[in-house]
Structure 1
Amino acid sequence: MHQTELVSIDGVPLEAVVHSPQGRPDRGLVIQAHGINVDMDEGGMFVRLADRLAEAGFTVLRFSFRGHGNSGGARRGATIAGEMLDLQAAVEFMTARYPGPLSLVASSFGAVSTALSLPWLEDRLSRLVLWNPVLDLRRTFVEPELPWGKENFGPEQQRLLHTQGFLMVDEEFELGRVLFEEFRYYRPVDHFVASGVPGLVVHGDRDGAVSYDIARSSAAAREHCDFYTVSGSDHGFDTREREDEAITATVDWLTTNAVDPR
């Protein structure tokens, strides 16, 4: 594992780490896209996943989106459009330096920029894994249906966008007005369903933040997509055992599905 210099398309510096393959060095590349209000460690899960994948022969990039971790940019200035630029930079960085097929693992909100990038990634991407993916922004944030969304994005919270220009997510992440307005317009689910990239969705069936039913129905609506349920799990896989279950399911799927069925 070594730190590397990654700069987004518009010049924002992004903290990043590359895990070099320890096994067969011909499995290809994996880029990991984290969720909102975390960083490239994804609470430790992305570190363990990257180590497991490196042991299996993958070259893995972890990076923090702008406004997260030690990357540049302000939290209030974070946007979906900006994260799409960051992801593009990560893809171009890895494919210019390392050989082999490219896979993406995106967690929670990381699935938004990932799914929206699928139209241009389609011919470059070999496999796609989504953990607890945010696919419907309106039903998650604008008109929230689940407990976490109602607590963080309900009417009182949304009023703060007009009075102070941001609202607090989980009492620690400053989410700005521009990002919230993006929630009204982007439809990541449409791009995910339309894509032919072979995929795996891993989701807890007790998720109180991001809809399990939306993820399951979206996976069923597309070709070449497997769905794995972590039984009893809330968002983010809420115990070490469930985290390890999600990691193992991901590593097993990536290592046994090296041939693109398209």
Structure 2
Amino acid sequence: MPTERISFTGHAGHDLAARLDLPEGPVLATALFAHCFTCSKDIPAARRIAARLSAMGIAVLRFDFTGLGHSGGEFANTSFTSNVADLIAAARYLASRNMAPDMLIGHSLGGAAVLRARAGIPSVKSVVTLGAPFDPGHVAHHFEDALEAINRDGQAEVNLGGRPFVIGKEFVDDIRQTELGEAVADLGAALLVMHAPRDATVGIDNAAEIFQAARHPKSFVTLDDADHLITDPCDAEYAADMIATWATRYVDMKPPAPPPGAPEGVIRVTEADPEGFLQDVQNGPYHHVLADEPEAYGGTNRGLSPYGFVAAGLGACTSMTLRMYARRKGWLLEGISVEVCHDKVHAQDAIPSGPAKIDRFMRVIHLQGDLDQEQRAKLLEIADKCPVHRTLEQSSRVETRLEDAPKLPDMSQEGQDIDAAAI
């Protein structure tokens, strides 16, 4: 996915560092992501969710709150309210680029922040929370041993996840006084609450309170055994896929007209896992599947292999072609099932110089219904006329061009904050 490294002005006038993850094709909608307490925009869960949404045409802006990551300002001078103000500033920046956010996504304390910020961002149609607390004051348990010093001296240095942070009294007072019940009830947008039942940092009861306070439309999805930071790539992928699927119901995403001669539109394949072979396969905003390789070949076996997709295309096209023919003839064809296997076999005549291997697709068709032998034989003949069958049997031409490579973003700092005691 193309990623722009940008900055915009935060609530107090400081430059806030951000990444804008863009689709390969047209931007159909925009999401704004808020990270967890003491984290940054670059934690793995944020990157995976952004990659998944951008693959389906949704641009995602993720940024570091004031005083965190690569953003300016002092963390000691921030508060929950200032985080909300930073979100509204980020939304104004997007609006200045004609990309006013349609969706807010917040992880942990960032989830509480997007619930409060929604009132100040009227373009938002949907809100997603991940492991969010209903009571932001819950975050104080991370530094309760320092509360006396903070109240006495106005601030104190605390150690969170092995890193020092200066926590100010304004932050503590702000989270203690913040209540989200009214903001959730008056959200004015569709809400998706995502939470792990075994979250040891923010209990599942917080999700129940958010869900009960919200009005319809609202949805809840469990993250099963995920940890609070959603560090497992499979958990992050699951969360991303659920958000992407849910978003299509509440965010109006109208893709442009397909290119002439290609009514199915453009299929975009984006690498999802540089360490393996997992790929996001997207066709417009609504059709998404995963491609992968078996574990024996270095993959994670979380999607069809490339040849599996070819076999699936042959099987689907065969079934559709038979249905069209039987429907036109008025035959009593009640059901169709097609099994396809692929391998490579030696073919003496493949090339004049000697034996070579060619692809062989073995297709078994099952027909249900009151059909006589003549009808069944005719349908077998028609199967060979399906368009994909003809494409595979005939010579095809693949024309390829290489786009100018975009400048890759600096990834050296990504993922360095995942050990923080985040909320």
Structure-2-length-normalised TM-score: 0.55
Rounded Cα–Cα distance in structure 2 between residues aligned with 1:33 and 1:46 = 9
- The amino acid across from 1:129 in the alignment is V
- The amino acid across from 1:160 in the alignment is A
Rounded Cα–Cα distance in structure 2 between residues aligned with 1:251 and 1:141 = 29
- The amino acid across from 1:6 in the alignment is F
Q: Provide the residue aligned with 2:208 in structure 1.
A: 216
User: Percentage identity across aligned positions?
Assistant: 23
Q: Provide the residue aligned with 2:161 in structure 1.
A: 170
1:240 shift after superposition: 2.4
2:240 to 227, 231, 247: 247
Query: CA contact under 8 A between 1:196 and 1:224: conserved in structure 2?
Result: no
Q: Provide the residue aligned with 1:34 in structure 2.
A: 35
Rounded Cα–Cα distance in structure 2 between residues aligned with 1:171 and 1:162 = 23
Q: Does the alignment pair 1:153 with 2:143? A: yes
Rounded Cα–Cα distance in structure 1 between residues aligned with 2:176 and 2:30 = 33
Farther off after superposition, 184-193 or 125-134: 184-193
Distance 1:201 1:76, change over 3 A: same
Q: Does the alignment pair 1:203 with 2:203? A: no
Rounded Cα–Cα distance in structure 2 between residues aligned with 1:201 and 1:178 = 29
1:214 shift after superposition: 2.0
Rounded Cα–Cα distance in structure 1 between residues aligned with 2:16 and 2:27 = 27
Rounded Cα–Cα distance in structure 2 between residues aligned with 1:189 and 1:3 = 36
CA RMSD of superposed structures (Å): 2.1
Distance 1:39 1:208, change over 3 A: same
Count of residue correspondences:
247
Query: CA contact under 8 A between 1:200 and 1:228: conserved in structure 2?
Result: yes
1:21 to 23, 30, 35: 23
Q: Provide the residue aligned with 2:92 in structure 1.
A: 92
Larger Rg: 2
Q: Provide the residue aligned with 2:124 in structure 1.
A: 125
Rounded Cα–Cα distance in structure 1 between residues aligned with 2:111 and 2:99 = 24
Q: Provide the residue aligned with 2:105 in structure 1.
A: 105
Query: CA contact under 8 A between 1:205 and 1:234: conserved in structure 2?
Result: no
1:119 shift after superposition: 2.4
1:182 shift after superposition: 0.7
1:259 shift after superposition: 4.8
Q: Provide the residue aligned with 2:134 in structure 1.
A: 135
Tell me which protein shows more helix as a share of its residues.
1
Rounded Cα–Cα distance in structure 2 between residues aligned with 1:61 and 1:13 = 15
Structure-1-length-normalised TM-score: 0.86
- 1:210 is paired with a residue whose SS is coil
- The amino acid across from 2:143 in the alignment is F
1:42-61 residue pairs with structure 2 within 5 A?
Answer: 43-61=43-61
1:226-261 CA-partner distances (Å, limit 9, x unpaired): 11001123312242222222122112212343359x
Query: CA contact under 8 A between 2:156 and 2:166: conserved in structure 1?
Result: yes
Greater RCO structure (CA 8 Å; 6+ sep): 1
Rounded Cα–Cα distance in structure 2 between residues aligned with 1:206 and 1:174 = 29
Distance 1:100 1:14, change over 3 A: closer
1:70 shift after superposition: 0.6
Distance 1:193 1:167, change over 3 A: farther
Q: Provide the residue aligned with 1:185 in structure 2.
A: 177
Query: CA contact under 8 A between 1:107 and 1:131: conserved in structure 2?
Result: yes
Structure 2 residue runs of 5 or longer lacking an equivalent are: 254-423
- The amino acid across from 1:184 in the alignment is R
Q: Provide the residue aligned with 2:250 in structure 1.
A: 257
Distance 1:107 1:40, change over 3 A: same
1:216-235 residue pairs with structure 2 within 5 A?
Answer: 216-222=208-214, 223-235=216-228
Distance 1:159 1:101, change over 3 A: closer
1:83 shift after superposition: 1.3
1:126-178 CA-partner distances (Å, limit 9, x unpaired): 1111111122123x145xxxxxx3xx233x33223135522523342332221
Query: CA contact under 8 A between 2:29 and 2:251: conserved in structure 1?
Result: no
Query: CA contact under 8 A between 2:53 and 2:240: conserved in structure 1?
Result: no
- The amino acid across from 1:79 in the alignment is S
